[in-house]
Amino acid sequence: MTTRVAVVGGGWAGCAAALSAAAAGAEVHLFEKTDMLLGAGLVGGIMRNNGRFTAAEEGLLLGGGGELFAVCDQASRHQDVAFPGHQHASLYDVSRIEPLVRDRMKDRAINLHLQTRIVFAEVHQNSIESIHCESGQQFAADVYVDATGTSGPMGNCHRYGNGCVMCIQRCPAFGPRVSLTALAGVEERTAVKGSDAPGAMSGSGKLHVDSLSEKVRTQLQQTGVALVPVPEELINESKLAAKACQQYATSEYASNLVLLDTGHAKLMAPYMPLDQLREVPGLEHARYEDPYAGGRGNSIRFTAIAPRDNHLKVAEVENLFCAGEKAGIYVGHTEAICTGMLAGHNAARLGLKQKLIKLPRNTAVGELIAYGGQQMKTKEGYRNSYTFAGSVFFDRMKDLGLYTTDRQVIEKRLKQQDLIGLLGSELR
């Protein structure tokens, strides 16, 4: 018996879903609107900080899409980096990571359809029968995974943010994000910003490394981090409420500019007008990476979240799963990979008529999926975001004893529950 799985969206979540589905034995097709994989993963880079370390190790042991953590490790520019509020981070090189992932996808025989934007879904009796791309071409699969993320599109960035800033989604060139879940007729949910507006603004930008002073540049290259003090008169804490990443919403981030070396100089602030940025000593000649308008704003995210169960199956549609930001107010590459690897595996299971699985709540990944789902059933839940790396969920990991950096402890925990290799083995 064979089955065909279509993954829509080639960010970290989609890539992980595709790898898990392929490992389980499905024929996998991945559709991505831009000319590169990884979506928001092309501008991030922070891995293994705080509880993400535990999750990455679990992912490697679970297999399937979890193998992407090895690719990230391989592309690290810096390891074991500390910056305010964060320990033992790895920073992958944003300019090297995509080809490495793409090669891995090809090795696993995944059919990549780049520059193919899905704009329509044929739904019959609560099942998706086929999807259509912009060119009108149609494609039918047995099971679908929505990994289209939640960034943009331009209308949201304009209505709820400061307008399109030409982020990595590159909507003006490749067309706006379209949600498969919405195309299937499911009503989506939205996160709520501090000020009672929908969505949240992304919390980091990217500067051109060569535009920084030599001192800052050297510090970045050598340690991976530079803390650049902000002159008193520029400190503006009010911006914090709008950020997606509550983990970075502390006063330390308001009194310093935190820069990380990911190939870009990653600026840990949602945005900062260029003139102000240039008042910061060391950044007198700074400029943002092209073509991104980091002085004006940032992308708006988390306005299109699918209702789903802990198998990551979307409510009301028989053959649709979801992963990454689509599956909850999940911030992060690690979170996208972890949800993706389960969604892809379950998609293959459904196609092969096998029972769907959940991950147990005494694993970091299982708990993230269950807790994030549970929070989506409460009003307050929409005011938070969830990540292994900080804020409410990292506290919870610590309270539950899930956070550890001891690989042996993690391995033992998974072994006891027969989880090793669970997502990496072929289903029969």
Ligand X SMILES: Cc1cc2nc3c(=O)[nH]c(=O)nc-3n(C[C@H](O)[C@H](O)[C@H](O)COP(=O)(O)OP(=O)(O)OC[C@H]3O[C@@H](n4cnc5c(N)ncnc54)[C@H](O)[C@@H]3O)c2cc1C
Residues that bind ligand X (CB under 6 A): 8-14, 31-34, 39-41, 43-46, 117-118, 147-149, 151, 169, 177-178, 202, 204, 299, 324-325, 331-334, 336
Partner interacting with residue 196 (select from ligand X, other proteins, none; CB below 5-8 Å by kind): other proteins
For residue 70, the tally of other CB atoms under 10 A from its CB is: 13
Binds other proteins by CB under 8 A, chosen from 50, 54, 150, 156: 156
Tokens of 386: 């969830």
Q: Does 124 bind other proteins (CB under 8 A)?
A: no
Question: CA-CA distance, 184 to 318, in Å (whole number)?
Answer: 11
Q: Which is nearer to other proteins, 153 or 263 (CB)?
A: 153
Q: Does 361 bind other proteins (CB under 8 A)?
A: no
Question: CA-CA distance, 302 to 170, in Å (whole number)?
Answer: 17
Question: CA-CA distance, 339 to 228, in Å (whole number)?
Answer: 35
Q: Which is nearer to ligand X, 10 or 282 (CB)?
A: 10
Name 309's bridge partners: none
Helix 364-375 with 52-62: angle, nearest 10 deg? 110
- Contact status, residue 129 vs residue 144, Cβ threshold 8 Å: no
Q: What residues between 129 and 148 interact with other proteins by CB under 8 A?
A: 134, 136
Q: Does 379 bind other proteins (CB under 8 A)?
A: yes
Which of the stretches 24-32, 63-71, 184-192, 419-427 binds other proteins when contact is defined by CB under 8 A? Answer: 184-192
Total interface residues for other proteins by CB under 8 A: 26
Q: Does 35 bind other proteins (CB under 8 A)?
A: no
Q: Which is nearer to other proteins, 96 or 159 (CB)?
A: 159
Q: Which is nearer to other proteins, 176 or 344 (CB)?
A: 176
Binds other proteins by CB under 8 A, chosen from 172, 229, 273, 281: 172
Q: Which is nearer to other proteins, 71 or 119 (CB)?
A: 119
Partner interacting with residue 256 (select from other proteins, ligand X, none; CB below 5-8 Å by kind): none
- Contact status, residue 108 vs residue 19, Cβ threshold 8 Å: yes
Q: How far is the CB of 174 from ligand X (least distance, A)?
A: 7
Residue indicated by tokens 């831009």: 34
Longest dimension (CA), the chain: 67
Read off the DSSP letter of residue 84.
T
Question: CA-CA distance, 324 to 32, in Å (whole number)?
Answer: 15
Partner interacting with residue 271 (select from other proteins, ligand X, none; CB below 5-8 Å by kind): none
Partner interacting with residue 134 (select from other proteins, ligand X, none; CB below 5-8 Å by kind): other proteins
Question: CA-CA distance, 117 to 30, in Å (whole number)?
Answer: 11
Please name the amino acid found at residue 195: S
- Contact status, residue 193 vs residue 251, Cβ threshold 8 Å: no
Helix 97-107 with 12-23: angle, nearest 10 deg? 20
Q: Does 174 bind other proteins (CB under 8 A)?
A: no
* Burial class of residue 232 in the structure, from the number of CB atoms within 10 Å of its CB (0-12 exposed, 13-18 middle, 19+ buried): exposed
Q: Does 184 bind other proteins (CB under 8 A)?
A: no
Binds other proteins by CB under 8 A, chosen from 76, 190, 246, 256: 190
Q: Which is nearer to other proteins, 121 or 350 (CB)?
A: 121
Beta strands 127-133 and 138-139: pairing type? antiparallel
Q: Does 196 bind other proteins (CB under 8 A)?
A: yes
Q: Does 119 bind other proteins (CB under 8 A)?
A: yes
Q: Which is nearer to ligand X, 311 or 352 (CB)?
A: 311
Beta strands 143-146 and 320-322: pairing type? parallel
Partner interacting with residue 159 (select from other proteins, ligand X, none; CB below 5-8 Å by kind): other proteins
Q: How far is the CB of 183 from other proteins (least distance, A)?
A: 10
Q: Does 158 bind other proteins (CB under 8 A)?
A: yes
Identify the CA nearest to 88 among candidates 270, 263, 225: 225
Residue 260 — φ and ψ, nearest 5°? Answer: -125, 145
Question: How many CA atoms lie less than 13 Å away from 320 in the CB half-sphere?
Answer: 33
Q: Does 155 bind other proteins (CB under 8 A)?
A: yes
Binding region for other proteins (CB under 8 A): 117, 119-120, 134, 136, 153-160, 163-164, 172, 175-176, 187-190, 196-198, 379
